Structure 1
Amino acid sequence: MDITVKQHGPDIHNGRLSLGKDRFPCALGRAGILANKKEGDGSTPAGIWKIQDCWFRSDKWLNPPLHLPSHVITETSGWSDDPNDPDYNCPVTLPHVYSHEKLWRSDDQYDVVITLNHNTMPAIPGAGSAIFFHLAKPDYSPTEGCVAISHQHMREILPLLTPETNMIIEA
């Protein structure tokens, strides 16, 4: 079953995620949904993206997903967001000399991170990195380009995700 994401409401960073008949609010990038994603532009990339892996904090999220390849987030888990890095848009081990996202965070947003195949194999430098499906802030404030939902909704959706699931993001 595929997931559909669309902008919803007057603020371009507010979205609606649909899975079958179920509808969930979601946060999007501060620039809304755009077709031509660029590194650092704050947009959520329009397109059809394959669900890939799940990264999770085993100290906070006790049950990994049933149907996705899973990785435990540790204090040395990172993701390269530097277009000059040979490992651009890939997981990295910290410390890392290039710019990167830290996956071990204190704000709970990355307690569960689902990777999407946006700009992968091979990654095009500058075309956007670290586009994830993850947990939203309580106020659903904008992301840097990801799709984010509540903890409760992630607990409902995560068991349904498989490597065959697509996230369809429409402007």
Structure 2
Amino acid sequence: MIRVRGLPGQPHRGLLRVGNRAFPVALGRGGIGFDKREGDGRTPAGTWRILRMLYRGDRTPRPVSQLEARPIGADDGWCDDPQDRRYNQPVHLPLTASHEKMRREDGLYDIVLVLDHNTRPRVKGRGSAVFIHIARDGLKPTEGCVALPPKELKRLVARLRPGTRVVIEP
């Protein structure tokens, strides 16, 4: 099990604990909240399963992990349009509905852990594309994800097993 907790007085920063290790993380610009809404910048509180790992095979070899993994293709995206039937699901690009490109130029999605937030059932507007991914320099806030520096994320994925749960607490 992984535990993520916010830091007092720094709502967009936290600590991720797994076993006896702790990693500093970036959180959503709106901190952690139980009432996640699309675009609110909050990291959703709750217990989530890691569904799979995605990675940029053109930039990095498959990270060492027991998790199911798939390389990110040039036409991979994630629908974030609450009015679209593919909301909060992977999609193929081009797409007219609002979406994120998974093959980002900034490297934030070079390694991505997909969480099952808002998947069963999917509720329009309750948040999409909540991942654990690579952090910006200086652990700058995310749009609602949990983000770690690349070295720490690689260390983390090497320790994970299928069925690992992530508990996010304010």
| Partner Cα distance (1:155, 1:68) in 2 | 12
Alignment correspondent of 1:114? 113
Alignment correspondent of 1:168? 167
Q: Deviations over 1:88-141 (max 9, x none)?
A: 100000001110010011111000111001000331110000000000011100
| Partner Cα distance (2:124, 2:85) in 1 | 9
Matches within 5 A, 1:5-24: 5-24=4-23
TM-score normalized by structure 2? 0.97
| Partner Cα distance (2:130, 2:3) in 1 | 16
Matches within 5 A, 1:110-149: 110-149=109-148
Secondary structure at 1:25 match in 2: strand
Unaligned 5+ segments in structure 2 are none
Question: Which amino acid in the other structure matches residue 22 of structure 2?
Answer: R
- Given that 1:51 and 1:162 are in contact with CA atoms closer than 8 Å, whether structure 2 keeps it comes out as no
Alignment correspondent of 1:89? 88
**Structure 1 vs Structure 2: percent identity of aligned residues?**
44
- Given that 2:108 and 2:135 are in contact with CA atoms closer than 8 Å, whether structure 1 keeps it comes out as yes
Unaligned 5+ segments in structure 1 are none
Matches within 5 A, 1:48-63: 48-63=47-62
- Given that 1:51 and 1:161 are in contact with CA atoms closer than 8 Å, whether structure 2 keeps it comes out as no
| Aligned alpha-carbon RMSD (Å) | 1.0
Alignment correspondent of 1:34? 33
Secondary structure at 1:97 match in 2: coil
Runs of 4+ in structure 1 deviating by more than 3 angstroms, as ranges, are none
Question: Which amino acid in the other structure matches residue 138 of structure 1?
Answer: D
Question: Which amino acid in the other structure matches residue 157 of structure 1?
Answer: L
- Given that 1:54 and 1:65 are in contact with CA atoms closer than 8 Å, whether structure 2 keeps it comes out as no
Q: 1:75 offset after TM fit, Å?
A: 1.6
Q: 1:65 offset after TM fit, Å?
A: 4.3
Secondary structure at 1:157 match in 2: helix
Q: How many residues align?
A: 170
